[in-house]
Structure 1
């Protein structure tokens, strides 16, 4: 299969274009920061006005949120220098601007008459100069702002959604290797596939989320399909609920929520780090992180991240080898900004763990009786992904900004595996080896415009976005002679020989396109923000298989959305949203008699209300939600069917920050009522949905030990409630808890910054069923917990 365009020529062309743009495009001239230019900042809260001005000026501003709480600004309009503009916004506020390096400023109180200046507390960064995670909340684990797709980046207090944005600092300190390690911090998210399995999969608010629905700087389908390494990540945004308005159609729908990953960018200060890594059972590796800025005003930036790690895992006869390299380039101009990322990731797993399926009426086996990897030692998973993305935005004037982005990926996947379908209480299952090859080509684009204007006392932020996602994939494979093994006492079978049958190759083309319009209206000096919008969506799928009639559908739908934020005071925000989403229909899995059947797209709806309270150094979000979507089930004849609805209602509490000096908290809880309704003949009405626990709870604690400077102790507990594996609610797994402990020590040695980290996950080495899979009806199965895992690393900063 041919890629939409060759990745190497693409890389060369985009790099060449990037440097040409940097040198010659109007608006990217490396002008002096003191040069006067036109600005338009509406009147409103001082915090919002400073954020908007810093963003338009392309500088960073460090400010303690408590300094601007309750203050307003008259705004400004006209031509200003950077410092002159800040002065106009700050007039009468009792605050002053202090330069802190090229393109960076600090906000502090005006000195008292005696010449003293009160000590500046911990700061947050606003503006667009210091990278995606530059404005980390107190404690550095969560960013104050996150991506809302076409609506841009917003402070979480001005966002009408439940969103948590994890920083690269928490990713590094927790020694996260893949996305599954990061989402373990969020009570609304659970991993639903075994660690070191063939792929990662998640559940958000009780609904499935696949890696293909994880956005890369707002672009779907660009990141690797089966596992995403975290060394490239600057920030991980987790937004709950359908988000069709914000980013367009996700390839697999993302009904319960969405995840966006922001790539690393070069900071103003040079970055040169090397991290040596070790995981229990002998996985050794290293990570290199290098960032530099160049040119007048440090307008040009380069950031390179490379990682390689390999060795045996905690499972029997299993090893993992992973490597990835990502290069990011960005330009900060006076009126234009652009970036380019190119990356390659490979992941090889020998003996990948499988989910455990159960035949009807078979009791759930005791997980503690399983002591071995029940996948055959000759199974393997090979995944290679090459991807790239280019983005740019240009300020036409003080009121209009246009932007565009494009991303591409080529994925090549090769598996030799077998399903695990237990047929009796003794743990017997049939081993049916199967090879599976898949090649994916993705091209995704978005163009848009944003405008700021006022009608009387009402401010407007108008957004227009056009998105298109193209994916072509081919599947092929072969099947081999059967064997018999046992869940509790696995039998090693001979390596498969000649195949008994070849699978019919399938070719599928998917086009997801949409047009969206949204307006955010600001009332009462932007203390009330009302977002109204809609996205017109089109789903086109064409799937062909030799000897079978083609399956085609072309569906259109309009998804409206509304979000409301009332900032009653600087510390408290109340919000409401109504969102609709459109999702591609499910494809019947290989285990179904109607394997390969493609179902029509379906709508999902969410209503949510919530409150956010910012204590200054500590914040909480409380939300109440309801999501409705169609459900699927496998009937007695073995066919996948769409049947009834699934209604997930829940209450969430998220908390993060540093309530006391040197003590940080990260976590929360979710109470979930996931119910089936309108099922065939009412047979399952009122039952709990598959894989939907009633209670999830997380709590992570960090303590900077006062007696030893640089030493931090960490602990985390994760609780997940009981879950059902079947719609009839006959097969159930118990609730479980996991406990993690760790420590890190930061010090300086001979002018080199050193950070040593050590942690133990599942410190009690408990074996349990971690998940009853996801409630999509297509591949129900049990996920076994990961054994005790030791993680060690040493980071040297030069």
Structure 2
């Protein structure tokens, strides 16, 4: 479970008794959000203890303790600090003390309600406030200027922190960004991030990504900090309140991921009921004929709204842009939570089903074939009888409990049961004419997952040094059974597909393979604050044990292993100014070994775990309305490949990715929002067999990824916003020999949305066009560390329309 704190809570005295101002996801501030006039009079002066730190955190804490409402323009408080306070104060007196020297002042706007304004101008400022009821807005992940990115992100063992206090590269996308992009799956959302790329066709059996050039599978996407809970093959975005994307090895934060991703991690934060009731319906259309509807309903009940319930449901079905391809998907997720004075509880229960007819596969290129021409692929090369049927049922329980004012216990547990049924075929081009053999395979996979984590967090001081100690233990178990059958082959062609008969009589039954994965770990970290927390040093280590056993037709395999490793990590962050943070980190992680793909002759062979290491330095600049982050990194890990002659999959040397990232987000001018960046990677192979590929560029790794999105509120038409996004990736090699290459590509997306009211109902119309020019290109050559490579064909021009009504 990811314990979420909206501020850095560091009591300086043993007798200090402030109440933790925790996330709305799991919590309620200690004081009631609304107080009667008589209560306010009785507590006109009372004792407060608010630690020094960021002004945003100090104001949030004080508002929660005082039980008043405070509306703040995030740009006003961004980058400012407060000396805190200790003693008895009236509400306005306490605010004045916290604001001392900030150039801001408090302005009453009603009973127990205030806003902040610049001191000289008073109320002349035109505010676009974020309402804070105690800690509500900050706890939900206070949006940065522009609303597309949240200031805070969940960081597993380390809790939740503002991006300016985080010693590594991280971006948190908000639910507003999800809605405005009309992102139906995680693969569609990550199109905004230059460090992340999708490596599987949008109309394929599953989604897969790369972060900083290394593979990330859906299995490695966490759900509120727990691995293995979300659906294995595709994750619906209607369930997400926020999506955290962390760059670099994340073993210290959440432990070893099920598939061993090393380039980064993704965490999906579930939705919670807000104090304001939610009743929303969205009708949607996607070309060619995908119709759907989504509901979002939330309510809070009981004294101080302690109990919350939120339901999200989706039904979408119809034909896609590709001939004889259709997708039907259903999603239902129920979230319940309780937020007490010291105890916070939540549970999430979900069910998803996805049926895809004629899902596209990656295109494999044989040794005697050149790279096929994507521009000439105009029809779906997947057979009409091919299918992918997935069903996932999952649930989690999370808890936080304040033992006292400086110690918090937290824990979480989850489970998932999945059934997957595929009838598919590889697309392996054998010559320059694009010929391939359709070899049908019936493939079933049943999965069971159980996972849990528990920890304790303690805040204290040793003299002038503050500490945040975290101790956590984690457990992950997954078993899965693979089975199926093979059928007679038939010829087809990439450019002129031939529809073959539906397979009926198997020519061979596949072995039944049963595998058990167990991972246990214990992690300890300490974040030390020096110079009034302007210098933050995070040191930590995680002991991890990975145990894998497999059986083929009830015979235990010889490739099982049981290994353990102590992985140290550390990071340092220095707040050079109120607007500039400098940081560096070293992260080390143990990753589960690769599994030989179905395209190799040693299919399903399990390789031992391996170690990855990252060094990164960076800077973050927060101008209030616009943020710019930059990072230089280097990641090392073993390289794997399938020999083109022997077709044996296995380790072959090492790869080193050295890169530079630059990201930008915010609203530099009123009504103009930006989101994007650029990533450069120099990826080199070393220590390959007989030095054959030493010095070559690692396959499937473009030198440049560029993303730039912009939104513009048309000043002459209230409620109208125009959007655009440009995506670019440079050329990529398919193989370690660097003899086959795909071209660079660009994609242009445009859109518009219009928000208005009818009978006090908020209505938002959205229209997006992805790949406006309808370009056909290979968007990815797979991933160099992936056991299954192959070319990914870009999605043709796609129209997305939706209408959201908030009742």
TM-score of the aligned structures, taking structure 2 as reference length: 0.91
Is the 8 Å Cα contact of residues 364 and 789 (structure 2) preserved in structure 1? yes
Question: What corresponds to 1:754 in structure 2?
Answer: 763
Question: What corresponds to 2:649 in structure 1?
Answer: 640
Question: What corresponds to 2:583 in structure 1?
Answer: 575
Question: What corresponds to 1:558 in structure 2?
Answer: 566
Question: What corresponds to 1:203 in structure 2?
Answer: 210
Q: Distance in 2 between matches of 1:683 and 1:710?
A: 60
| 1:514-593 pair list within 5 angstroms | 514-546=521-553, 548-550=555-557, 551-593=559-601
Is the 8 Å Cα contact of residues 315 and 329 (structure 2) preserved in structure 1? yes
Q: Distance in 1 between matches of 2:109 and 2:483?
A: 59
Is the 8 Å Cα contact of residues 60 and 130 (structure 1) preserved in structure 2? no
Deviation per CA, 1:378-433: give whole Å up to 9, x if none: 00000000111111111111111110111111111000000011111111111110
Deviation per CA, 1:338-378: give whole Å up to 9, x if none: 21111100000000001100111421011111111011100
Note the C-alpha offset of 1:329. 1.2
Question: What corresponds to 2:180 in structure 1?
Answer: 173
Q: Kindly tell me: are residues 60 and 223 of structure 1, through their superposed partners in 2, closer, same or farther at Cα, counting changes over 3 Å?
A: farther
Q: Kindly tell me: are residues 670 and 110 of structure 1, through their superposed partners in 2, closer, same or farther at Cα, counting changes over 3 Å?
A: closer
Note the C-alpha offset of 1:301. 1.4
Match of 1:602 among 592, 604, 610: 610
Q: Distance in 1 between matches of 2:495 and 2:239?
A: 39
Note the C-alpha offset of 1:592. 1.2
Give the SS at the match of 1:690: coil
Match of 1:672 among 681, 686, 690: 681
Give the SS at the match of 1:219: coil
Q: Kindly tell me: are residues 466 and 363 of structure 1, through their superposed partners in 2, closer, same or farther at Cα, counting changes over 3 Å?
A: same
Q: Kindly tell me: are residues 58 and 152 of structure 1, through their superposed partners in 2, closer, same or farther at Cα, counting changes over 3 Å?
A: farther
Question: What corresponds to 2:700 in structure 1?
Answer: 691
Question: What corresponds to 2:461 in structure 1?
Answer: 454
Is the 8 Å Cα contact of residues 283 and 312 (structure 1) preserved in structure 2? yes
Q: Which moved more, 1:577-586 or 1:72-81?
A: 72-81
Q: Kindly tell me: are residues 557 and 659 of structure 1, through their superposed partners in 2, closer, same or farther at Cα, counting changes over 3 Å?
A: same
Note the C-alpha offset of 1:783. 0.5
Q: Distance in 1 between matches of 2:521 and 2:724?
A: 44
Q: Kindly tell me: are residues 701 and 95 of structure 1, through their superposed partners in 2, closer, same or farther at Cα, counting changes over 3 Å?
A: closer
Q: Distance in 2 between matches of 1:218 and 1:54?
A: 29
Give the SS at the match of 1:718: strand
Question: What corresponds to 1:485 in structure 2?
Answer: 492
Q: Distance in 1 between matches of 2:33 and 2:619?
A: 43
Question: What corresponds to 1:736 in structure 2?
Answer: 745
Note the C-alpha offset of 1:123. 4.2
Question: What corresponds to 1:650 in structure 2?
Answer: 659
Question: What corresponds to 1:614 in structure 2?
Answer: 622
Unaligned 5+ segments in structure 1 are 1-24
Note the C-alpha offset of 1:26. 14
Give the SS at the match of 2:401: strand
Q: Kindly tell me: are residues 330 and 777 of structure 1, through their superposed partners in 2, closer, same or farther at Cα, counting changes over 3 Å?
A: closer
Q: Distance in 1 between matches of 2:706 and 2:294?
A: 32
Q: Kindly tell me: are residues 258 and 557 of structure 1, through their superposed partners in 2, closer, same or farther at Cα, counting changes over 3 Å?
A: same
Is the 8 Å Cα contact of residues 108 and 120 (structure 1) preserved in structure 2? no
Deviation per CA, 1:25-76: give whole Å up to 9, x if none: 9999979867999976433343443456668899985433454467543435
Note the C-alpha offset of 1:775. 1.1
Q: Kindly tell me: are residues 757 and 72 of structure 1, through their superposed partners in 2, closer, same or farther at Cα, counting changes over 3 Å?
A: closer
Is the 8 Å Cα contact of residues 124 and 137 (structure 1) preserved in structure 2? no
Is the 8 Å Cα contact of residues 476 and 505 (structure 1) preserved in structure 2? yes
Deviation per CA, 1:199-252: give whole Å up to 9, x if none: 000011000000011111111111100000111111111110001101111111
Match of 2:307 among 300, 312, 318: 300
Q: Which moved more, 1:50-59 or 1:336-345?
A: 50-59
Q: Distance in 2 between matches of 1:78 and 1:415?
A: 66
Deviation per CA, 1:549-595: give whole Å up to 9, x if none: 42321111011111111111111111111101111000111221111
Match of 2:231 among 199, 217, 224: 224
Question: What corresponds to 2:15 in structure 1?
Answer: none
Q: Distance in 1 between matches of 2:143 and 2:29?
A: 29
Question: What corresponds to 1:10 in structure 2?
Answer: none
Match of 2:709 among 692, 700, 704: 700
Note the C-alpha offset of 1:719. 0.3
Unaligned 5+ segments in structure 2 are 1-26
Q: Kindly tell me: are residues 349 and 460 of structure 1, through their superposed partners in 2, closer, same or farther at Cα, counting changes over 3 Å?
A: same
Does 1:153 pair with 2:192? no
Question: What corresponds to 1:21 in structure 2?
Answer: none
Does 1:625 pair with 2:633? yes
Does 1:330 pair with 2:337? yes
Note the C-alpha offset of 1:121. 3.6
Aligned CA RMSD, in angstroms, stands at 2.6
Q: Distance in 1 between matches of 2:110 and 2:419?
A: 46
Question: What corresponds to 1:8 in structure 2?
Answer: none
Is the 8 Å Cα contact of residues 28 and 336 (structure 1) preserved in structure 2? no
Query: Matched residue pairs, number?
Result: 772
Question: What corresponds to 2:478 in structure 1?
Answer: 471
Question: What corresponds to 1:398 in structure 2?
Answer: 405
Is the 8 Å Cα contact of residues 293 and 300 (structure 1) preserved in structure 2? yes
Q: Kindly tell me: are residues 717 and 395 of structure 1, through their superposed partners in 2, closer, same or farther at Cα, counting changes over 3 Å?
A: same
Q: Distance in 1 between matches of 2:470 and 2:676?
A: 33
Q: Kindly tell me: are residues 66 and 231 of structure 1, through their superposed partners in 2, closer, same or farther at Cα, counting changes over 3 Å?
A: closer
Q: Distance in 2 between matches of 1:193 and 1:224?
A: 16
Does 1:289 pair with 2:296? yes
Match of 1:420 among 416, 427, 430: 427
Is the 8 Å Cα contact of residues 194 and 786 (structure 1) preserved in structure 2? yes
Match of 1:745 among 737, 754, 776: 754
Match of 2:670 among 653, 656, 661: 661
Q: Kindly tell me: are residues 401 and 98 of structure 1, through their superposed partners in 2, closer, same or farther at Cα, counting changes over 3 Å?
A: farther
Give the SS at the match of 1:117: helix
Question: What corresponds to 1:376 in structure 2?
Answer: 383
Question: What corresponds to 1:14 in structure 2?
Answer: none
Q: Kindly tell me: are residues 662 and 68 of structure 1, through their superposed partners in 2, closer, same or farther at Cα, counting changes over 3 Å?
A: closer
